[in-house]
């Protein structure tokens, strides 16, 4: 039996001599038929078992966790070694926690990394390689399909960026390599669309868990930001991947971004009224940072720098900031641990916040690869400490007591939600760092307020904002790729009734009987569309007296509203709504009518496909 579900096409009629008929679906036990070219792994039995037995997704998740945890440790050690070589620091000292760095190294490190990235980008464009897909885009639009080669390239670029000292985190590389491996493995096993998306979620959960020693954080990161849904069945393999990755990373070389909380003072819930103000401040700060990256990119575009020079220029600017304080370099893990445990003045905190934010913006806008996950945590913690100092210096200090460390963790969660998204992700990160349920409950409320505030006035996290700037219309990780597959070209009818716009009503009535077609699409002498003639308008009794003198073009509608074959169903539905039309033509690039689409049919197909997508998700619950 062909467990792969593929019909054997290799046997011809002349081979029907051993009791085997080429027209059947069965392969004789003693005949080994090679798998068709391109068959993933050539393991049809294993593929069939994985597709039919959901429990087998669990060992796949464990394998993904082990591989991702190993990759996280390897990348972390490589970045730390690069810091030691470029900046002359000991291997056990974090770059951002250094008291000072040599000015020459501060300028040369990011500049060299920027030049290397510029050359890599030059080669990519010269070889006409397609842009890389990240896990969010892959799961939202592509059914979880990622290129392992591209993921390795992105992870390498992230390593170069962070290793050179650019103000970006390695977490983007961690999640990319974890998701890329998971997608590669799932594709080789020919997993279904939802199972493949689930495996990509396992890869990203494993990456975050291994980096922060936070399995619950990794699990909710995958559910909120990569898959977009919560269910018990999907949480089991995701949690398994997260736990195995954390275990492997802890035994191989440690967790690169682990944070140990200092002693927390005061009643966290009593501080909630003041922290709600912090939530709004963090939301505004996060929006300002995301917009600033786009503005900085536009500014660099107007300067007309060669694209391969942009990372070099950005590296020099980051190096100049590093000469003021090394805390702007790399992700900021060492600096965060240093700053959380010491008393700092408000002016120093503001200085570090401004310089670190500038370094992050310059790094990302100039072309360095990396993420803002850890940078948002670092900046949020500093913002919380600053806010506590400001409240403590006012008459409200007695009525609104605020502990700087509790405020720092609330600020960490709030700014993390504003930039990265995922209120539960940030809440569980605080829980796994502090082990305090009171601080966690406070952080949850602050995170939810920040999330609602940012979504209401901005609507994007940093990842979806970057996709929005590229022309994508996604606001989360929910699977909307099926919308693109449901195109106007796939739904339209091609039995088009065409008419000359200069024809009279009487002549048109003679050519088209009432009920023979839903509409007549009028054209000019060059066969270009000029309007739609509805049959009730054509046969209106009011036209009987002047039917021989009235041209049908005067009765046409929707002359400037039409559809394109490449439009998806959502865009088409918007066109129907804007035109208040029941039927619209589909035009090609030359303006000629190639088909038409009825709103009722498009809406029905949309709802059917939507229900199928919902059913495939809820089936996992």
Q: Quick check: 602 pLDDT over 90?
A: no
Query: What is the mean pLDDT of the segment spanning 412-436?
Result: 93
Q: pLDDT digits over 79-106, tens only?
A: 999 999 999 999 989 999 998 899 999 9
Q: Quick check: 112 pLDDT over 50?
A: yes
Class of residue 470 by CB neighbours under 10 A (exposed 0-12, middle 13-18, buried 19+): exposed
Which single residue is written with the structure tokens 């960026």? 161
Confidence class for position 604, pLDDT limits 50, 70, 90: confident
What distance in Å separates the CA atoms of residue 355 and residue 367, rounded to the nearest whole number? 18
Q: Which residue has the higher pLDDT, 220 or 342?
A: 220
Asked if residues 359 and 165 have their Cβ atoms less than 8 Å apart, the reply is: no
Q: Quick check: 68 pLDDT over 50?
A: yes
What distance in Å separates the CA atoms of residue 229 and residue 235, rounded to the nearest whole number? 10
What distance in Å separates the CA atoms of residue 141 and residue 120, rounded to the nearest whole number? 27
What distance in Å separates the CA atoms of residue 299 and residue 352, rounded to the nearest whole number? 24
pTM of the complete model beyond 0.75: yes
Query: What is the mean pLDDT of the segment spanning 518-545?
Result: 91
Query: What is the mean pLDDT of the segment spanning 366-386?
Result: 95
Neighbours of 47 (CB within 10 A): 21
Q: Which residue has the higher pLDDT, 223 or 15?
A: 223
Furthest CA-CA distance within the chain: 97
Which single residue is written with the structure tokens 């088209």? 512
Confidence class for position 3, pLDDT limits 50, 70, 90: very low
Give me the percent of the chain exceeding a pLDDT of 70. Answer: 86
Residue 151 carries which DSSP code? H
Asked if residues 289 and 346 have their Cβ atoms less than 8 Å apart, the reply is: no
Q: pLDDT digits over 555-585, tens only?
A: 999 999 999 998 888 788 889 988 888 999 9
Q: Quick check: 470 pLDDT over 70?
A: no
DSSP secondary structure string for all residues of 245-263: HHHHHHHHT--TT------
- Mapped onto helix, strand or coil, the DSSP state of residue 305 is coil
Q: Which residue has the higher pLDDT, 307 or 380?
A: 380
Query: What is the mean pLDDT of the segment spanning 500-513?
Result: 91
Average pLDDT, the chain: 85
What distance in Å separates the CA atoms of residue 398 and residue 59, rounded to the nearest whole number? 55
Q: Quick check: 29 pLDDT over 50?
A: no
Query: What is the mean pLDDT of the segment spanning 351-357?
Result: 97
**Which residues are 400's β-sheet partners?**
none
> Residues, the chain, total?
621
Question: Which pLDDT value is given to residue 431?
Answer: 93
Confidence class for position 203, pLDDT limits 50, 70, 90: very high
Question: Which pLDDT value is given to residue 523?
Answer: 93
Confidence class for position 247, pLDDT limits 50, 70, 90: very high
What distance in Å separates the CA atoms of residue 269 and residue 439, rounded to the nearest whole number? 7
Give all domains of the chain, ordered by start, each with its CATH number: 1-37 (no CATH), 52-252 (1.10.3080.10), 269-469 (1.10.3080.10), 483-613 (3.10.580.10)
Question: Which pLDDT value is given to residue 606?
Answer: 76
Q: What is the CA radius of gyration of the chain?
A: 30
Class of residue 378 by CB neighbours under 10 A (exposed 0-12, middle 13-18, buried 19+): buried
Question: Which pLDDT value is given to residue 505?
Answer: 92
Which of 190, 117, 189 lies closest to 154, judged by CA? 117
What H or E segment, with its residue span, contains residue 498?
Answer: strand 498-500
What distance in Å separates the CA atoms of residue 421 and residue 406, rounded to the nearest whole number? 21
Helices (H) and strands (E) in the chain, counts: 24, 6
Q: Quick check: 267 pLDDT over 80?
A: no
DSSP secondary structure string for all residues of 436-495: -HHHHHHHHHHHHHHHHHHHHHT---HHHHHHHHTT----SSS--HHHHHSBHHHH-B--
Query: What is the mean pLDDT of the segment spanning 32-53?
Result: 57
Q: Which residue has the higher pLDDT, 26 or 490?
A: 490
What distance in Å separates the CA atoms of residue 206 and residue 187, rounded to the nearest whole number? 19
Q: pLDDT digits over 120-163, tens only?
A: 988 888 888 877 888 988 887 788 899 999 999 999 999 999 99
């Amino acid at each position: 039996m062909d467990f792969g579900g593929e019909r054997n096409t290799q046997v011809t009629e002349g081979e029907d001599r051993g009791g085997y008929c080429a027209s059947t679906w069965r392969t004789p036990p003693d005949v080994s038929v090679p798998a068709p070219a391109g068959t993933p792994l050539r393991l049809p039995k294993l593929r069939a078992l994985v597709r039919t037995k959901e429990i087998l997704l669990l060992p796949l998740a464990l394998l993904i966790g082990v591989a991702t945890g190993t990759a996280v440790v390897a990348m972390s050690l490589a970045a730390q070694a690069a810091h030691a070589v470029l900046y002359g620091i000991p291997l056990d000292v974090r770059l951002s926690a250094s008291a000072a760095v040599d000015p020459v190294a501060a300028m040369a490190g990011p500049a060299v990394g920027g030049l290397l990235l510029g050359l890599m980008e030059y080669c990519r464009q010269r070889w006409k390689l397609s842009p890389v897909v990240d896990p969010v885009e892959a799961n939202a639009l592509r059914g979880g399909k990622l290129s392992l080669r591209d993921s390795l390239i992105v992870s390498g670029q992230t390593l170069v960026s962070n290793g050179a000292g650019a103000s970006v985190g390695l977490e983007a590389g961690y999640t990319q390599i974890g998701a890329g491996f998971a997608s590669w493995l799932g594709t080789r096993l020919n997993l279904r669309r939802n199972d493949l998306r689930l495996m990509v979620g396992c890869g990203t959960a494993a990456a975050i868990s291994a980096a922060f020693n936070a399995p619950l954080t990794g699990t909710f990161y995958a559910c909120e930001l990569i898959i977009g849904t919560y269910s018990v069945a999907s949480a089991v393999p995701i949690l398994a991947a997260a736990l195995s990755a954390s275990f492997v990373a802890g035994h191989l070389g440690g967790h690169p971004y682990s944070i140990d909380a200092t002693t927390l003072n005061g009643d966290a819930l009593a501080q909630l009224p003041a922290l709600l103000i912090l939530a709004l401040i963090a939301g505004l700060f996060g929006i300002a940072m995301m917009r600033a990256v786009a503005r900085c990119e536009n500014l660099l575009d107007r300067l007309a720098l060669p694209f391969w020079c942009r990372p070099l220029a950005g590296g020099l600017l980051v190096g100049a900031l590093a000469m003021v304080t090394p805390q702007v370099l790399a992700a900021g893990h060492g600096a965060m641990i240093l700053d959380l445990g010491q008393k700092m003045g408000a002016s120093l905190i503001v200085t570090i916040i401004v310089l670190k934010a500038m370094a992050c913006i310059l790094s990302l806008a100039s072309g360095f690869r990396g993420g803002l996950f850890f940078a948002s945590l670092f900046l949020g913690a500093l913002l919380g400490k600053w806010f506590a100092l400001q409240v403590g210096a006012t008459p409200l200090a007695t009525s609104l007591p605020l502990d700087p460390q509790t405020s720092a963790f609330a600020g960490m969660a709030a700014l993390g939600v504003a930039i990265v998204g995922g209120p539960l992700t940030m809440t569980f990160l605080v829980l796994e760092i502090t082990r305090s349920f009171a601080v966690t409950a406070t952080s949850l409320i602050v995170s939810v307020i920040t999330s609602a505030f940012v979504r209401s006035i901005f609507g994007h996290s940093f990842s979806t904002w970057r996709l929005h700037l590229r022309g994508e219309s996604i606001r989360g990780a929910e699977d909307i790729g099926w919308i693109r597959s449901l195109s106007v070209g796939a739904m339209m009818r091609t039995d088009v009734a065409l008419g000359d716009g200069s024809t009279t009503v009487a002549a048109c009535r003679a050519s088209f009987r009432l009920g023979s077609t839903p509409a007549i699409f009028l054209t000019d002498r060059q066969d270009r569309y000029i309007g739609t003639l509805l049959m009730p308008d054509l046969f209106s009794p009011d036209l009987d007296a002047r039917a021989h003198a009235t041209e049908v073009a005067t009765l046409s509608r929707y002359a400037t509203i039409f559809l394109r074959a490449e439009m998806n169903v959502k865009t088409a539905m918007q066109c129907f709504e804007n035109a208040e039309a029941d039927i619209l033509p589909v035009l090609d690039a030359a303006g000629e009518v190639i088909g038409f689409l009825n709103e009722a049919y498009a809406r029905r197909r949309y709802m059917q496909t939507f229900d199928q997508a919902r059913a495939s998700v809820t089936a996992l619950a």
